[in-house]
């Protein structure tokens, strides 16, 4: 059975598994029992084809963050501090 996302106006989003014939029907929120409409959203996930086919979840998440414009840090953490320069004191 497929899972669908619903959005309660009070509690926020929740997923619910239901038959496809009931996909468009509103659902009852599991927290507050209010009626919640189905949320239709395009998922921006990376497909499992192409160069990221063998990539792990962390790598795919990193690519999603880069595509969204969120700053990403690459490389291994060394644990050392960067030297302070006397130039800019922001």
* 15 lies in some domain: yes
* 17 lies in some domain: yes
pLDDT for res 65: 74
What's the domain range around 22?
A: 3-36
- Cα distances (Å, whole numbers) of residue 9 to 38, 40, 42, 78: 11, 15, 20, 45
Tens-digit pLDDT profile for residues 13-68: 898 899 989 988 999 999 999 999 998 765 555 455 666 666 777 777 777 777 77
* Distance from C-alpha of 14 to C-alpha of 29, rounded to nearest angstrom: 8
pLDDT for res 43: 57
* 29 lies in some domain: yes
By the 8 A CB rule, do 5 and 13 touch? Answer: yes
Domain count, the chain: 1
pLDDT for res 48: 55
């Amino acid at each position: 059975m497929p899972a669908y996302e619903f959005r309660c106006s009070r509690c926020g989003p929740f997923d619910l598994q239901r038959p496809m014939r009931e996909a468009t029907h509103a659902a009852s929120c599991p927290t507050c029992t209010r009626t919640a409409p189905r949320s239709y959203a395009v998922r921006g996930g990376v497909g499992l084809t192409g160069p990221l086919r063998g990539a792990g979840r962390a790598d795919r998440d990193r690519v999603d963050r880069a595509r969204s414009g969120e700053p990403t840090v690459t490389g291994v953490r060394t644990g050392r501090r960067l030297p302070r320069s006397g130039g800019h004191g922001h």
